[in-house]
Structure formats: C-alpha cells, structure tokens
Structure 1
Amino acid sequence: MKKVLIAFIALFSILWALDAFMHPIAGGDLLWQWRNYLLYYTGVVSFALMGLVMLLATRPVWAERWVGGMDQVYQLHKWAGIWAVLFAVSHWLIKLSKPLIVALIGNANRATKTPLLSFFSDYKSLAKSLGEWAIYAAIIMLVLTLWRSFPYKFWRHLHRIMPVLFLMVGFHALVLMPLSYWTQPIGFGLVTMLGLGLYGAWQALTQRIGMKHRYLAQVVQCELGQDQVLFLRAQVDARWPNHQPGQFAFICFDRQEGAHPFTIASAPHADGHIDFRIKALGDYTQKMAAKMRPHMFFEIEGPYGQFALDRINLQREQIWIAGGIGITPFIAWLEALIMQPQAVTAQLHYCIDRAEDSAACHYLQQLAAQLPTIHLSIHESAKGQRLTPELLMSTMSTTQNYELWFCGPTGLLHALEATLKQNFDREQLTIHSEAFQMR
C-alpha cells in the first residue's frame, strides 16, 4: 500500500517538474518564483490524490491484487485522503504567504502571473472561493476521521459530503489550471484524475458503490453466545459467487447504519449457506445481535479480500495466529481443508480469554481434530497462557523459511513482528494480515 501511494505521488511530482522545467516562471524575485512553483505543486498533488481517493471509494475489485486486498484498498483510500488534505493545507498556507513575502522583500518585483485558459476567466473568483471552502471542510473531516472517539455513525453521515467537496475542488482545479498544462502530460494526468474522481463522486452520490456485488440474504440461524459473539448463518441469493475461504463481505441490515465488513466464517457450501461470527462490541454489532431474527432478510456485498487459503505458499512453513474473533478466517480455512483435502501443514495458535465460553473455540477444536497436519495450540489469557514472542520463537528454527498469517489485535501483531524481524530476514519470513480499521 505504501509503495503504491509513494509511486502515485512521485508520478505527479515528476509530471509537475517536467512542466516546470519546460515552462519556467519568468521574472521576479526568487522568493516570489518559488511561491508560485510550490503553490502549483501542492495543488497538483493534492488534487490528484483527491481523485484517487474518490476512485478507491467505489471499492474497485481490480485494485485488490495491486495492493493486497480490499482492506488495503481502504488503507490506501484513507492515507491518500490524509495526504491530500495535508498538501491542500500547504497549498492554502502558501497562498496566504503573500503578505509575509511583501513584508520581507516588497511587492515591486513579483513573478509574472501564470496565464490561464481564457474560457474560464469569468469563473476565477468563484473557483478560488470554492477551493477555500472545500479546504476548511476537508480539514474538519480529517480531524474527525483521526479522532477515534468521534462516533462512527455521525462520522459516516458527515463523510457523505466528500463527493460534493471533490466537485468543488474539481471546479477550482479546472478553472485555475495553468494554460501550459493543457498541452502537457501533467494536464492529461489531472484531467484523467478529474474524470475518475467524477465517476467516484457519481457512484457515491447515487449510492451505487458495490451495487454489482450486492446480494440478498436470509437469516437461517442466529445465536448470541456467552462470549457475546453472534453466530449468524444465512442463505444467500443463488447469484452469490463462491467466495474464497478467508474472504469478507459487507453486511447491511439497516440502511441508516450502512454496511460493515465481517469475515465469512465458513467455506463455500453446496447448499448456498454462509456463516458469520460477529463480536458484539460497538453500537452496530450490538444492534445486530438484538435485531437479527430467523427468516429476516438483509443485504450482503462481496466477497472481498486476499486473506485466502489459495494464496498460501506451500513451499514455506505455515504459522497461523488468531486473536479473539480473528479466528473466523481460519475456521473457513479448516472447513475447506476438510471438504477438499490439501497437503497443508501448519501451526495454528489461537489466543482467547476463556476457551470454555467460546462456541467458536469448541468448533475449532472439532475441525482441527479431523486435520492431523494442523497443530492447534490454544492460549487462554485468563489462565496466564499468553502467546509471547519468545514462546512463538521456541517453535521456530532460524534456518527455515516461514509464512505467517495473522488475524487479531494489532498490539499482538506488532509485538510478534518486532521479535520475528530481529531473528529472520525478509527472505525467510513473510507476514500477512488484514487491516479492518477502515476509518
């Protein structure tokens, strides 16, 4: 994900630099010249990133293989948005630097104004105002996005204004784009991002995002366990494509609440049913546990994700680690291995508070008992049986090559990563995990 974002920013930086080299700013003191250069550079990168943000908001399935799954598409969407706002704020601050530069070197020797397309000359004032208002709104959205305590349901409704903000910024960019850009690669790049962003905005405003992957499902069984995990079995529309074990889907049972992602906790079954195991943590999942009833219909969108059994590298020693509700993709994996046996050997570590309270843990043990090459270890924190980096290292050899698949708390992942990367180089150890923190 980081490489894609860096490459994207680098691409538009190069395109901007190419035009700046071919059409240098004429005359004026160096400080005025650099103000103009940086003003356009920050504007170019910010707008290109905004177009990317709007495109990624459509949940493009084709992008999954580029960045490693829909969860990473959302991470790219999030960080592209953050950097878009940071570049936009820089653009705005540079614009406000005029009085400071005048105080330093005066206003007499300013750089020559960059010519614009005459067709848009009557709209300059409006374009500047719309751009400024959009920046204020984008800053507020960024603060609320990063403020983890701000309720998701309110943030989600506020987030709906983003397509409108993009239309405002798009008008600003189109009207104020330098004349030279219209015949240069930078102009083609910006117009392309404008088109892609407009497509994303249209998809969002008309609520068409994910429409091609939406299906109707009916509740067959729903039970809330002692550990506050909701077991949900649903019968899905016959058009539902067979998912890969470990993928996830968006569930929507209330239009006001919107759709939320949950891992599919079962392998594909011939009768068309799929299972979910959902931890009742936040408001949405608690409402779901309270409202879900047999025969109730809801909407499902997917399948998405690359945390899939068919992606494991059988040439490497397999280590699978789950924490809490993160066991769901591995349950799907084990079901698939029972239904269609493969030559897979793996250590499966499951970290849980109390195994006796977990229906998922009991079911996991039943599955593992049918797969002699899957070595299950359960670590109950209530009994002081925590999976530590040292404990994991004691089961590994520094002369072997490993592939680690992880689904659980990020704190545990970071602790394990820190130790493992000290003992294994990149060629020896590959780590896969999903980032479900999509805000």
Structure 2
Amino acid sequence: MNHLAQAEKVVVVGLGVTGLSVVNYLQRQASPPAIQVIDTRAHPPGEEKLPAGVSLSAGQWQMDWLLAADLIVANPGIALSTPELQTAIAAGIPVVGDIELFAQAVDQPVVAITGSNGKSTVTSLVGEMAAEAGIKAGVGGNIGLAALDMLDQGNALYVLELSSFQLETTASLELVAAAYLNLSEDHMDRYNSLADYGQAKQRIYRHARLAISNRDDAATLPDPAWTGKQTSFGFDDQDYGLIEHQGEEYLAVNGMPVMPSRDIALVGRHNVANSLAALALADAAGIDRDAACRTLRRYTGLPHRCQRVVQAHGVDWVNDSKATNLASTLAALSGLSIPGKLHLLVGGDSKGADFSQLKPVLETLNVQLYCFGRDGHRFLGLSNAPVVVETLDQAMALAASDATSGDMVLLSPACASLDQYPNFMARGDAFAELAHSLKDQVQGAQAC
C-alpha cells in the first residue's frame, strides 16, 4: 500500500542524514504533506538544514503529533518496540522507514545486501563492478547516500546496503536479487535473541526475484516456505564457490572456473566469500562478468576496514575501526600471520555482546591486548595480562611504547564507537592521526 499517497500529515521521527532525506523527499512531492519532525535529542544533527515550514520538536516526544499523523516515518535507529511508536501503531497509524518510501518510488532495478558483516564491502564492490561495466548505479542505503537522495539522478541500477533496523520498517521492496551474507551476534541490546535479529534480516527476501544465501551459514537460508529462485555462495564447488583448476584455487560458478582466488585484491579469507557474493549479485543485475572480474582484481576495499594507515620502523598500524562487532574482529584475526607481536586495541560500546569466542583465537597469537572505552572491562580474561585504559589515545600510546620492528598495532575493537566517538569513521580517523604522531616512538625507532 502506498501510504504516502493518502497522507496529508506526516511525522518524521529522528533527524540526521536519513531524517533530512525524508523531509526533502516529502517536500518534492507534487502535493507535499504537512511535515513535523520529532527528535528526542535537544540539538539533533541537521536541524539547521530543515526547510521553512517544517515543525521540529526537539528533546522530547510529542504524542499529540504522532496520534494525529496519517503516516509516521521512523529513523532506523529507533526501534519499532519503542513505547511511543507502539502506541501509534495500536492507534492504527502506519509506521514505515525511508527504504519503504524508496521502494514505492523506485523505477529501476535494485539489488540489496544485508548481513552482520561484510555488507558494506559487498555493496561497494557491486557498485564498482557496475561502474566498470559502464552502468550508472546509485550505491547507498545504510552506507554512503541515503536511498531517497539517489532517486531522480538518472541511475540505471541501485545497490543498497540494508541493516536489520531498516528492514524492520520495509515491507514492499522489490529486488532483482537479495544477498544475506551471514549472521552473528550483534545489536543484542535491541533484539530479544539472535534468532529475533536473524528474522529481521530475513525480511530482505520478501519480494526478491533471487535469494542469495551463504551455504556456510544456515541462518541465511531462505525460509522453507520460500518459493522463489535461489542460489548461494560458499567454499565448496556448488553454485558460486571454489574449485581446483590448473593447480590452484579458482572462483567458480556452477563448477566452471572464473578467476584465481589469489588475484582478488581484497585481503583475507572472508573477502573471498564477499567476492563470491558480489559476483552472484552482479550476474543477477546483468553486469558484465569480465568487468566484474576486473573490479575484483583492483578493488582494495573500504576505509576503516583492515586499512594500513602507517608503516614505519618495521611496525604496521592497521585501522579496522569498522569492526563494530565480534564477528568482524574474528574475521580480521583469521589467518593473521606477523613476525612479531600483535598489539590489539579493543573496546567501546559492546551492545551487550559476549566476547568469549575471542579467547581461543587470541591464544594462537603473540598478542598484547589493550582494552579501552566504556565496555573495555568485558575483554578481561581473554588473554594474559590485558591492559585496561580509559581511551583509545591511552591504549595507542602504551602500544607505541612497547612495539618494535615486526609488530602490528591493530585497532579492531569488536564494539561500536558511540561511547566516545560520533561513529566508527571518526574513531578510525582518530586512530590514523594518532598513529602518524606516535610512529616514531616505537622501540628502536631512532636506530632505524
């Protein structure tokens, strides 16, 4: 149902980049509705950019606004279980998100990606594949541009990263293909269980022509009642997988070789899986296979994801600030081999996660653990003699004083950043800046 077509009064809950994109989209309608914005922050980001005539209630809920609305558009950061939204829903007022508005307006093919980890890499990779093939694609959603801001820009394809939060308020998004990459514990402060979190992600398959799942993660398989087309990716020789060909490992489709896995520019075994998922999406979207492979050979990844920011005096400083949950950090550590010691920086907002799975991995490494931030204490007991400090700056200073040639200082915090930073990008930028200032303080630096 196109709720917007019948709405004379719309309340947007939550401002910021997404909220502003919704307001601007509503104002672009042929017959714009009356728009009111509610944000419980006293000074919400973007308030100075609100168009004239849009009312803002900051610092508190306005239940009279909600209950008088024809439609509520909620920011994905606000759970549907919020009592104020539940009161409105009980009163029969529809609550949707910006992706649902996008779904009702888009007139070109869309592919979408969800998962606990890797979705930003796969989304960006498919966007790069499209560009390499000469296809103008809008790439955004949960990363980059807000979905509504990409409309009416002449795009022939849309590639969306979708979080579980966005999928909660999306009901009618039709997709050429939907990829569900993996499921691991995250956002346990918002969901009742891992299964509850996984079901939110399953919503991506609802109106997809092709469901792309991970053969190595049963949680990503479509519901048994699914009747649409499906394919999968994984580390065996089925569908999008791996085979032995000419004496080496190749990416393959239905058992036919595509390219050597060693040619992938992205580093890490998890990125082999990401590359297979991207190939499946590219094929579904009609992206030329040769262009897709050229992209795999050159695309080195996103900032803040296993990104070496400094290499000096034999010490690597690596920014993996995008590792905001346990599985991301486990992926960064998988197969890691360095000649010296690993100085691992962890901590921040744990989102209620259990980090015990790190212990057996850390036991295989020569590692010094530095725990910082609000939930740094939750990493105690995972390795010998962990260091607990207040801030990332303090952790990095201590790592610099102990590091020597052959070592790596790795920020892979397994936590969100919001206890001390606006977002993981700001945390990663802070790491990179401080790494440059500390690089000459490592042991033996003066002798190098």
- TM-score relative to the length of structure 1: 0.33
Which one has a larger percent strand, Structure 1 or Structure 2?
2
**Normalized against structure 2, the TM-score is what?**
0.33
Give the number of the structure whose alpha-carbon radius of gyration is greater.
Answer: 1
Q: Which has the higher contact order (CA 8 A, sep 6+)?
A: 1
Larger % of helix: which? 1
